[in-house]
Structure 1
Amino acid sequence: RIYYSQVFFDFVLNLNGMSDLPSVHVEDAPEGSEKSKKDDVDIYQLLRTPADINQEKEYAWLQQVRTMQVLERVMSSVRAVGRQLFLGNKMDSRFGVEQEEAKTLRLELIDGKHVNDKMKAVVSLLADNVIQFEITFKHSKSPGGFYRGVAQPQVQWKLAQLQEFGNYIGRASFLLAECNDRAKVIFANKKWDKAAGALIHQSLVEARNALVAANLAVQIPRKRGLKELYNFVPTKKFNPPLPGDKAVSVYMSGPRVFCAVYTVPLDKSAKDQTIQSVLIEAIVPGMPQILARLTSSLRTLQEFLNELEALKSRIP
């Protein structure tokens, strides 16, 4: 039933030139009409089957029991990584990672396959900064048949992959801390329902993506062209200068730091324009354990996300 006020009814009559018609008394809406609308039963509640109810209970149980366990485990691993790499300035303050001064790390790079003993290097790292780089390799045009040079650039020389790794770990720490705070509120209110599950799922997906990006940052080195290597300012700071036919690159792949020395023909008219390279490497102390922690955290997150998605898909 639709109810109109007398004033509104008279207004409509005036608009249509019908004001001379006899007035009609319109009944006021009963007070209980609004209440009756609120008492309407949700059709979804009527259609729920016992199986649906059980699925919802299982979904709520999974969130309630596993969410805090997963967060505690992953956050513990990320916290350990942050402390080991002195990332206190990048980590979310809720992780409680102190901002400590990084210690200088001296890496001696050699040929891992012991094929080339004519080349070696020492890279000194302070956090993600290369503060000194010493290199020796065979070179016929250098005094004694070997080039020996040291670069101690005044400009900032970042080991870009390690820097990106730290940035992504810092991002993941913020996302995990936010998710943890939300989970605590949901836990306190006992609101482990479908909406809560979607919120937790989305938060954990974002944290997982940040950890995946951190892992990829150190696993896959960025390709750099020879022109970029030649023009890289820090490598122009070697004393004595690098030979004109040489270019040097330092990068990470997994837990190892690599140094590559490229030999490029200076004579552009020569038939043989083959670029030769020699690699030496060193394992960064503690990095295998860090990557193992990261892999374990990603596995834990992905398993929990799969469980949430599987149950959610079965709830109408």
Structure 2
Amino acid sequence: MATVAAGKEEAEIEVLKKELEWLLREEVHPVLQDIRETLQECYNCLPFQGTADKGPQHEDIQPQRILLTPPNGTSLNLKSVVTLRGDCIQAADIQFKHKQGKEHHMFKTSFKPGSFWKLLQVRDAGNHLCNALEIASKHDSSYEYRSVREVFLLLDELMESLMNCRQCLSLPKRKTLQDLLENQNLQMFNPPLPSDVAISFYIHTSKLVLALYCLHQNNQHKVEITHRVQIEAAVKWLNEAIIFFTLSLQQCQQLKDKLLAVSKILEHP
């Protein structure tokens, strides 16, 4: 009986080995090809000036006139309409309630002619995307993957780059007060912003956000933020990019799970 059981176990192990060989030979390249196609779609929709030539389709990007609105209901304290062209805000009309002396009034300002606000998060995400495409294209279809470990190393590198892509858009770097005050973009407004106000444009997931900070100098002569308000607008191509990044990560993880399931049984039959 023991001999029969051992023989059956060996046969099952042999079947699993063949299944693993088949996965390495037949599954890895098609999945990587699917990932490359997903990333290429993302590359085509994400308008950025980065390390790679974007081609003529990105030279013809039409400017979008966008109204930014409060995330929760209506607010009369901050309004803005911007012109977005790819990863660049080319124009912005902003008005907000501002206290001068004892009176509040609506302060209106715009970008000076020829000024623009570059959305560096898009550039950074695009550069990580170029890196991900390079990783996914390391080997052509004639290459033979020899082990699960080899594929895992490739997928881990690819997934790290994809997570960096997504995080550039979904987790904007937190700005310090010093960053806000020293931002050269604050000099592009006409009329100039009041000295007790700072403004920041940034991306949060699929939205363009404008944040306004009210500043105050305390008794220790240190500047502090007393109030913050924001308005935002959904941007279609940002939403598409997030979806493509997420889909690519899922494709990587599904391939890892398939290979891991078989290899674990072989390690611990």
TM-score by length of 1: 0.71
Q: Give the CA deviation at 1:281.
A: 0.5
Which of 48, 60, 71 aligns to 2:32? It is 71
* Equivalent of 1:229 in 180, 185, 188: 180
Indicate yes or no: 2:121 matched with 1:164.
Answer: no
Check conservation: 1:133, 1:152, Cα contact below 8 A.
no
Alignment of 1:118-129 (within 5 A): 118-129=77-88
What is the letter of the counterpart of residue 106 of structure 1? R
Confirm or deny: 8 A CA contact 1:124 1:130 kept in the other structure.
yes
For residues 56-83 of structure 1, what are the alpha-carbon distances to aligned partners after superposition, in whole Å with 9 as ceiling and x for unaligned? 2010112233223312322221111111
* Pairwise CA distance, 1:87: 5.2
Which position in structure 2 is the counterpart of 1:266? 217
Conserved? CA contact 1:88–1:99, under 8 Å: no
Q: Specify whether residues 303 and 153 from structure 1 end up closer, same or farther in structure 2 by C-alpha distance, changes over 3 A only.
A: farther
Tell me the secondary structure at the aligned position of residue 265 of structure 1. strand
The residue identity in structure 2 corresponding to 1:132 is A
Amino acid of the structure 1 residue aligned with 2:118: K
User: Which residue in 1 is equivalent to 2:163?
Assistant: 212
Deviation of the 1:267 alpha carbon: 4.9
Q: Is contact 1:153-1:234 (8 Å) kept?
A: no
Residue identity matched to 2:203: M
Contact 2:92/2:110 (CA < 8 Å) preserved in 1?
yes
> Percent of aligned pairs with the same residue?
22
Distance verdict in 2 for CA 1:154–1:230, change over 3 Å:
farther
1:209: how far off? 1.3
Q: Post-superposition shift, 1:155? A: 7.0
Q: Which has the higher strand share?
A: 2
Ranges in structure 1 where 5+ consecutive residues have no aligned partner: 1-47
> Which deviates more, 138-147 or 247-256?
138-147
Report the Cα distance in structure 2 between the residues aligned to 1:232 and 1:292, rounded to whole angstroms.
31
The alignment status of 1:133 with 2:77, answered yes or no, reads: no
Is the 1:105–1:124 contact (alpha carbons within 8 Å) kept by the matching residues of 2?
yes
CA contact (8 A) 1:131 1:153 kept: no
Residue 239 of structure 1 corresponds to 190
2:42 is equivalent to residue 81 of structure 1? yes
Amino acid of the residue matched to residue 175 of structure 1? I
| Higher RCO (CA 8 Å, separation ≥ 6 residues) | 2
Give the TM-score, by structure 2 length: 0.83
What's the CA shift string for 1:110-135, capped at 9, x where partnerless? 11222313311123333322332321
1:114 alignment partner, SS class = coil
Report if aligned partners of 2:50, 2:126 keep a CA contact under 8 Å in 1: no
**For 1:179-218, what aligned pairs fall within 5 Å after superposition?**
179=139, 181=140, 184-186=141-143, 191=144, 195-218=146-169
Q: Is the Cα contact below 8 Å between 1:128 and 1:159 reproduced in 2?
A: yes
2:21 maps to which residue?
A: 60
* CA root-mean-square deviation: 2.9
Q: Which residue of 1 aligns with 2:76?
A: 117
> Is 1:178 equivalent to 2:138 in the alignment?
yes
Partner of 1:41: none
1:83 partner letter: N
Aligned-partner SS, 1:178: coil
